[in-house]
Each structure stands twice: as structure tokens, then as C-alpha cells.
């Protein structure tokens, strides 16, 4: 048997809609498949580079966009599996292939003859009669080559390739170390003394976690956010809250095989060298050069606009928590493991809101219906379950996405909503296949296959999974990313969907969150899982009134993480710092209250160190929040959250255009002007007029 007949990864995927043949794929298939895909991709590249004809857009740029499709197909499947359903065998392949795959990328983008062709076209681009999308593609590819080292000399290119290979190994190790710490931890609650204060929904999730992990007596709290945050919010056992909190914030920071401190330090060292090879003083300068923000000064200005009022608000919030503790006869000093617990007590007292009374109105299945319904009302797309199509885990639901008007297929959507030990923490969107019309056939386009991952605590067998309002917001957020991939309508894969600048990519996701808070959406979809009664108006009102509650705490945690990220990547020292000491010095310098803390400590900050996508880029959520708050005001001004003309512009210029337009131009085309920062400050309650609230 040959590789082509024995390995399902390299065979044609004659599956419904070209889905990966999940049931047939084994870890041992990937190494030989990658070897075959690398050889094929290099043959594609060499064929373009060796053409005797002068370079044209079609024979060089469009051809390059089509190249390496087998590689792209296998990589997409591999990295989705290692994130969502990994195994020791897959992790071993991931470690083995990290450097060779990085080396291959360097070989492609340092191909001198190919870059000469691309460079010649770049110099002539305004005289070639190209469409705006074609010009954008050429410019983006040319920049990709330059930022990958194509203009460096031979010695520098060799060193650059070595740096990128080592970084690939280190980022792989970093993410595997975090998963190891998360998977290994379990706080076992043996009896009622350990469970005191926990509402039924937390107990049910902890029972299910215990069952999933073979713990027959007791309940288990894991380091999944959907377990740890409710436990810190409701547990009356301060000693157990502290124990769980310390485990949560110390992920990746333990001596031994899974210690991420030396890993992160070496990553920072190598990124500084990467930037220096490109002529930049710091990695932050290199990373920001290809963003909307552009400079450290622009990022700092945005973060500073929010930091001072947020810290002031957080200090007032802490005083309120301290006062509540004293009123209960408790003389303790509020610590980080106390904040969520006492904040929930204050929230209940101020707004008469009890999480245990809210969650029954947010069963997962109803919220999935809600995101589908909002997508149909805004963009005319219909999601139809295909239970006959199986993915990589029984929990994953597969849907066909069709345009309701003519039943044409838009794409395939996979929904993977539950936490499990084989899945990394957090929530994210990814793709098994990008949309494009550059398939090489004039009649066949390529439809996207999109996956949303969440980490919700699964309900017990026969019981619904109940979401907090924040969980529901996460569901809407990731679905916004999903729509960005599904609604993509561009010609070239490089410009497709979420292949946009990093500080633009969060706009479609954060914008979609707004529809969850629409009263009409809540009345239709937020229904009690037992009675089917819609959420009461007065409960919605209390949720709205509490919307800005604890925003000082949440904002400070986020901005502190963004500032530490930027500071770490702005370093110009040749050697990376001891990350623990550096982090401590930075939070002391900025005056971060100890009881507040950061969203992510450096030793488990996967946005930064499990890949480069958000390195010197964690600020992007706030940058995009300026855009999404201002953008949603377009619907408010129209007087209808589903206004057809605003939704049409939103789809055309934001969700469908991918990277075919410069992002500022795309936003102006949608909104009619540049964004204003005031709507974001208003939403967070950080305008001066809100200071007394």
C-alpha cells in the first residue's frame, strides 16, 4: 500500500461537504502526511518561482494563494485536534513537528526567486490594472514575505529561520504545560462542609466533573473557568477559595517538567532577536507595525484613557466589599480570593440579583437558538442541525448554514461547547477550511468550515447545561467570530474571513455580543428551563441596571494584563527577564491593587506565549471595543437592533469583506465616519458623568 492509499489525510476527502474524515484519522497519520504535504507545497512554490514568463498577478500572486492546499488542510485539522481533543500521542507529534513546520514556512517565504517575482509586481502594482482586492492581496503577500525575512541577507536568514523554529518548539511546550497543570488539578469536595454556600447549579457541575474524572464520592472543582469562577463566587469556605485561587493563578509556575517560567523567558529573548533582525528596537515595535494602532504610543494612549478611571472605580468597589464584610462582623482584609464572593453579595443587595435565579433562564440549548435566530434576522442565514454528520468528539454538533432566501449553502458550522480534560481552556473560534473563490476552477468556490469552542461545565445526564449571563455573552462572542468566517465572501484565501489585522479581528465578535442584551432577544429566548416562562421584565431591568457593576474590577484586570504584555514585549534587553520578578515589578509600578489582580499571569498567558497572534496585542480587545460600541450605536440610531439597511452594511463591509479592504476604510464604509471612543467609555461606566454611580 502507498501513502496515498493508506493515509486518510492525503487521500481525497470524499465526505459530506469535504469534512475531515475524523473517525479514520490517527495520530500516527500526521507525520507522514505532513512530509507529503511539505513536498507537494515546495513543488508548487518551485513551479511558480521557475516560470520562464514574466511575473503577472495570475501566474504569481493568485497561484501562490492557491498553493499548498494539502498542507493547509492537514494543518487545520491537526491544530484543531491538538486544541480541542488532544492526546499524549497527538502532543508527541505536535512537539516533533513544531520545528520542521516552522522551517518549512521559512523555506517558502525565503524563496529568493519567488520573492523577486512578488517584489517586481509590488513595485508595479499601481500600473497593472488590478482590482482593489487584487492590489490588497499583492500588498499583503509582499508584506508577509518581508516580515518573514525575505529581504534579509543569507546569514541573517539562516539565523532567522533558527529563531522561528525554536519559537515554534517553545510555544508548543508552553501550551502543553498549561494544559498539563489544568488537567492534573482537582479540588475534591467530600461533604456538605466543603459544599457550603454552593448553589445547586454549581454542585451539579461539580458532580458531573467528578463523574467525568472517575471520582465516585464527592464533587470536583477543576481549573476550567466555568468551574473555578462560580466556586470563587459562591463558596462560603474561605480556605478552599484561597486554595482554588492559588492553583488557578499559579498555572505554569511550578518547578518541574511543566514550568513555563524559563519557556516564557526564552520566548521573550528570541522575539527580541527576531525584531532586531528586522531592524526594530523591540518586538512590540515589530508586532505593532502591522496593526491599526501602529505604535506603542497609540496603544498606551488608549490604555491610559481607561486605566485611571477604572482603577478609581475599582478602589471604590473594594471599599464597598470591605464595608460589607465588616457589616457581617468579619474583620478580614479583602483578598483576591474574596473579591468575587463579596462582589456577588453586594450585587445581590444592590440589584436583588441572584445568579442561582438567573441561570435557569439561560439553558445552553436556548442560547444556541438565540445566536442562530439573531444571525438569521440580521443576515438571512439559517442553521440546520445535521446529527448524521459526526465530528471529532460526540459533544460536537454539526450544522449546515444556508442562505434562507434561496437555500444556497454558505458553510458548515461545528459547535463544541463543553469543557473536558483533552481540551485547552478558554473559548475560541477556528476553521477547518477557509472560504475562497480561487480554487483553480472557474465554477467552484471553497466554502468555509468553522468551529466554535467553549468550555462550559456540562450538566448532569438528563439535566440541561445552564449558563451564567457572562457564559451566554461568551457564546455570542465566539459566534460573532464564527459568522466572520462563515459570511466571508472574497476571492482569495489569504484575505478570507478572520485573516485580518489583529486589532480588527475582535470587532465582529464583540459587536455580536450586543444582541444578547436586547430585551426582545431575551424575552424570546431566555426562558426558564422547567416552566418555559420567559425571563421577567423586572429581572431584565435588574440585569440592565447591574450591567456596569464591578466594571472597575473587570477593566483593571484586563488593562493590567494588556500593560504587562506591552511592557514585556517593549523590552530592548538582549535577554528576556525572569517573568515572575518582571511581572511583580510592573504591577507595583502601575499600582495594581493586589485584591484585583490580572486576567492572566505571564506563566499561563496563552494569548502571548502559546503562539504569537496576541503577543504585544492583548490590547486589541479594548481597541475593538471602541469600534464595537460605536458600531452598535448605528443600530441604536436607526431605532431597530435588526435594521435591514444597517445590517446589510454590517455584512458587506465588516463580516464579509475579510481583509480585502484596509480596516479603517472598511469601518468608515460601514459607519460613515471614524469611530468615537465615548460610546466605549459610556458602556463601561467610565465617563465622568458616571463616576458617582
Q: In the numeric block, which cell numbers belong to residue 209?
A: 466533573
Band of residue 2 on the pLDDT scale cut at 50, 70, 90: low
Whether 454 and 482 have beta carbons less than 8 Å apart is answered as: no
CA atoms within a 13 Å half-sphere pointing along the CA-CB vector of 53: 8
Band of residue 688 on the pLDDT scale cut at 50, 70, 90: low
Positions of E strands within 122-179: none
Whether 363 and 562 have beta carbons less than 8 Å apart is answered as: no
Extents of the domains making up the chain: 3-151, 185-249
Give one word for 224, left, alpha or beta, with left for phi > 0 and alpha for psi -120 to 50: beta
Residues ≥6 apart with Cβ < 8 Å to 304: none
pLDDT at 395: 96
d(CA 620, CA 290): 13
Per residue in 13-72, pLDDT (tens digit) is 999 999 999 999 999 999 999 999 999 999 999 999 999 999 999 999 999 999 999 999
pLDDT at 276: 98
Mean pLDDT of the chain: 96
* Residue 478 is a catalytic residue: yes
d(CA 510, CA 516): 11
How many angstroms separate the first and last alpha carbons of the chain? 72
Band of residue 692 on the pLDDT scale cut at 50, 70, 90: very low
Per residue in 126-139, pLDDT (tens digit) is 999 999 999 999 99
339-351 and 225-234 helices, crossing angle to 10°: 70
Collapsing DSSP to helix, strand or coil, 422 comes out as coil
Mean pLDDT computed over 341-350: 95
Per residue in 250-291, pLDDT (tens digit) is 999 999 999 999 999 999 999 999 999 999 999 999 999 999
Comparing 443 with 558, the larger pLDDT belongs to 558
Q: Where are the alpha helices (DSSP H) in 196-282?
A: 200-212, 225-234, 238-249, 261-277
Mean pLDDT computed over 573-591: 97
Phi, psi values for residue 159, rounded to 5°: -65, -40
Whether 500 and 291 have beta carbons less than 8 Å apart is answered as: no
Mean pLDDT computed over 533-546: 95
pLDDT at 581 over 80: yes
Whether 614 and 502 have beta carbons less than 8 Å apart is answered as: yes
d(CA 240, CA 233): 12
Report which DSSP code applies to 61: I
Report which DSSP code applies to 417: E
pLDDT at 693 over 90: no
Q: What is the 3-state secondary structure (H, E, C) of 478-527?
A: HHHHHHHHHCCCCCCHHHCCCCCCHHHHCHHHHHHHHHHHCHHHHHHHCE
Per residue in 92-113, pLDDT (tens digit) is 999 999 999 999 999 999 999 9
Collapsing DSSP to helix, strand or coil, 198 comes out as coil
pLDDT at 690: 52
Band of residue 687 on the pLDDT scale cut at 50, 70, 90: confident
Mean pLDDT computed over 616-626: 96
- Going by DSSP bridges, is the β-strand pair 409-418/397-403 parallel, antiparallel, or unpaired? antiparallel
Residues ≥6 apart with Cβ < 8 Å to 329: none
d(CA 683, CA 551): 10
Other Cβ atoms less than 10 A from the Cβ of 147: the count is 16
pLDDT at 1: 52
Collapsing DSSP to helix, strand or coil, 385 comes out as strand
Which pairs count as long-range contacts for 606-611, CB under 8 Å and 24+ apart, including other chains?
606/174, 606/175, 606/178, 606/424, 606/426, 607/565, 608/264, 608/565, 608/568, 608/569, 609/170, 609/171, 609/174, 609/175, 609/260, 609/263, 609/264, 609/267, 610/171, 610/174, 610/175, 610/178, 611/171, 611/175
Residue appearing with cell numbers 492583548: 618
Among residues 465, 380, 314, 467, which one has the least CA distance to residue 656?
380
Among residues 85, 253, 355, 478, which one is catalytic?
478
Per residue in 154-165, pLDDT (tens digit) is 999 999 999 999
pLDDT at 190 over 70: yes
CATH code for the structural domain at 3-151? 1.10.1370.40
- Percent of the chain at pLDDT above 90? 94
Per residue in 442-464, pLDDT (tens digit) is 768 999 999 999 999 998 888 99
Amino acid at each position: 500500500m502507498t501513502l496515498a492509499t493508506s493515509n486518510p489525510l492525503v487521500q481525497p476527502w470524499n465526505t459530506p461537504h469535504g469534512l475531515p474524515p475524523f473517525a479514520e484519522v490517527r495520530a500516527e497519520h500526521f507525520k507522514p502526511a505532513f512530509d507529503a504535504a511539505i513536498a507537494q507545497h515546495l513543488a508548487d512554490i518551485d513551479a511558480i518561482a521557475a516560470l520562464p514568463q514574466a511575473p503577472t498577478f495570475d501566474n504569481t500572486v493568485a497561484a501562490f494563494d492557491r498553493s499548498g492546499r494539502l498542507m493547509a488542510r492537514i494543518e487545520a485539522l491537526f491544530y484543531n485536534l491538538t486544541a480541542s481533543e488532544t492526546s499524549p500521542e497527538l502532543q508527541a507529534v505536535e512537539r516533533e513537528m513544531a520545528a520542521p513546520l516552522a522551517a518549512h514556512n521559512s523555506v517558502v517565504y525565503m524563496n529568493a526567486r519567488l520573492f523577486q517575482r512578488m517584489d517586481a509586481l509590488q513595485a508595479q502594482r499601481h500600473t497593472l490594472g488590478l482590482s482593489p482586492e487584487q492590489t490588497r492581496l499583492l500588498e499583503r503577500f509582499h508584506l508577509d514575505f518581508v516580515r518573514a525575512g525575505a529581504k534579509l541577507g543569507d546569514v541573517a536568514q539562516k539565523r532567522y529561520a533558527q529563531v522561528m523554529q525554536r519559537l515554534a518548539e517553545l510555544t508548543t511546550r508552553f501550551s502543553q504545560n498549561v494544559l498539563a497543570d489544568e488537567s492534573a488539578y482537582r479540588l475534591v469536595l467530600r461533604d456538605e462542609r466543603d459544599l457550603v454556600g454552593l448553589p445547586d447549579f454549581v454542585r451539579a457541575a461539580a458532580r458531573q466533573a467528578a463523574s467525568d474524572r472517575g471520582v465516585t464520592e464527592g464533587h470536583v472543582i477543576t481549573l476550567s473557568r466555568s468551574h473555578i469562577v462560580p466556586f470563587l463566587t459562591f463558596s462560603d469556605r474561605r480556605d478552599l477559595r484561597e486554595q482554588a485561587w492559588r492553583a488557578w493563578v499559579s498555572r505554569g509556575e511550578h518547578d518541574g517538567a511543566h514550568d513555563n517560567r524559563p519557556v516564557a523567558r526564552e520566548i521573550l529573548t528570541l522575539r527580541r532577536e527576531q525584531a532586531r533582525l528586522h531592524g526594530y528596537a523591540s518586538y512590540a515595535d515589530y508586532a505593532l507595525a502591522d496593526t491599526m494602532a501602529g505604535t506603542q504610543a497609540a496603544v498606551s494612549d488608549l490604555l491610559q484613557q481607561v486605566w485611571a478611571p477604572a482603577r478609581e472605580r475599582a478602589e471604590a468597589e473594594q471599599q464597598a466589599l470591605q464595608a460589607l464584610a465588616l457589616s457581617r462582623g468579619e474583620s478580614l482584609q479583602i483578598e483576591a480570593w474574596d473579591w468575587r464572593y463579596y462582589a456577588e453579595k453586594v450585587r445581590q443587595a444592590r440589584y436583588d440579583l441572584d445568579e442561582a435565579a438567573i441561570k435557569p433562564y439561560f439553558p445552553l440549548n436556548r442560547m444556541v437558538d438565540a445566536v442562530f435566530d439573531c444571525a438569521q434576522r440580521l443576515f438571512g442565514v439559517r442553521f440546520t442541525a445535521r446529527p448524521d454528520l459526526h465530528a471529532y468528539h460526540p459533544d460536537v454538533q454539526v450544522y449546515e448554514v444556508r442562505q434562507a432566501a434561496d437555500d444556497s449553502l454558505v458553510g458548515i458550522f461545528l459547535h463544541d461547547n463543553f469543557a473536558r480534560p483533552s481540551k485547552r481552556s478558554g473559548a475560541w473560534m477556528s476553521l477547518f477550511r477557509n472560504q475562497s473563490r480561487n480554487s483553480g476552477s472557474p465554477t467552484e468556490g471553497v466554502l468555509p468550515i468553522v468551529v466554535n469552542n467553549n468550555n462550559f461545565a456540562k450538566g448532569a445526564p438528563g439535566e440541561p447545561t445552564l449558563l451564567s449571563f457572562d457564559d451566554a455573552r461568551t457564546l455570542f462572542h465566539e459566534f460573532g467570530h464564527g459568522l466572520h468566517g462563515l459570511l466571508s465572501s472574497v476571492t482569495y484565501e489569504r484575505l478570507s474571513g478572520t485573516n485580518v489585522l489583529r486589532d480588527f479581528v475582535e470587532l465582529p465578535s464583540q459587536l455580536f455580543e450586543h444582541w444578547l442584551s436586547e430585551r426582545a432577544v431575551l424575552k424570546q429566548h431566555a426562558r426558564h428551563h422547567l416552566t418555559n416562562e420567559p425571563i421577567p421584565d423586572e429581572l431584565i431591568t435588574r440585569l440592565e441596571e447591574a450591567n456596569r457593576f464591578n466594571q472597575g474590577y473587570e477593566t483593571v484586570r484586563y488593562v493590567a494584563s494588556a500593560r504587562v504584555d506591552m511592557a514585556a514585549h517593549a523590552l530592548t534587553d538582549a535577554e528576556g527577564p525572569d517573568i515572575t520578578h518582571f511581572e511583580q515589578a510592573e504591577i507595583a509600578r502601575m499600582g495594581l491593587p493586589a485584591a484585583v489582580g490580572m486576567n492572566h499571569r505571564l506563566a499561563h498567558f496563552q494569548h502571548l506565549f502559546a503562539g504569537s497572534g496576541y503577543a504585544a496585542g492583548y490590547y486589541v480587545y479594548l481597541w475593538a471595543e471602541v469600534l464595537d460600541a460605536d458600531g452598535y450605536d448605528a443600530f441604536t440610531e436607526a431605532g431597530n437592533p435588526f435594521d435591514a439597511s444597517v445590517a446589510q452594511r454590517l455584512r458587506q463591509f465588516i463580516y464579509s469583506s475579510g481583509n480585502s479592504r484596509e480596516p479603517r476604510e472598511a469601518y468608515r464604509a460601514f459607519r460613515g465616519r471614524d469611530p468615537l471612543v465615548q460610546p466605549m467609555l459610556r458602556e463601561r461606566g467610565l465617563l465622568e458623568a458616571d463616576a458617582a454611580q
